[in-house]
Amino acid sequence: MDFTIRPMKESDIPLLAAWMVETPLWQRYGMTTAQATAGFENGLARGDWLMTADADAAACGFAWAMPKGTFGRSPYLRLIGVRADRAGGGIGAALLREIERRSVETANELFLLVSDFNEPAQRFYRQHGYVQIGAIAGYVVPEITELIFRKRLR
Ligand X SMILES: CC(C)(COP(=O)(O)OP(=O)(O)OC[C@H]1O[C@@H](n2cnc3c(N)ncnc32)[C@H](O)[C@@H]1OP(=O)(O)O)[C@@H](O)C(=O)NCCC(=O)NCCS
Note the residues at the interface with ligand X (CB under 6 A): 23, 25, 79-82, 87-93, 114, 118, 120-121, 123-124, 127
Distance CA 37, CA 34 (A): 5
User: Which CB, 38 or 140, lies closer to ligand X?
Assistant: 140
CB of 144 to ligand X, least distance (A): 12
Backbone phi and psi for residue 64, each to the nearest 5 degrees, phi listed first: -135, 115
User: Which CB, 88 or 138, lies closer to ligand X?
Assistant: 88
Exposure pattern of 103-138 as b/e (b: 16+ CB <10 Å)? beeebeebbbbbbeebeebbebbeeeebeeeeeeee
User: Which CB, 93 or 131, lies closer to ligand X?
Assistant: 93
CB of 54 to ligand X, least distance (A): 13
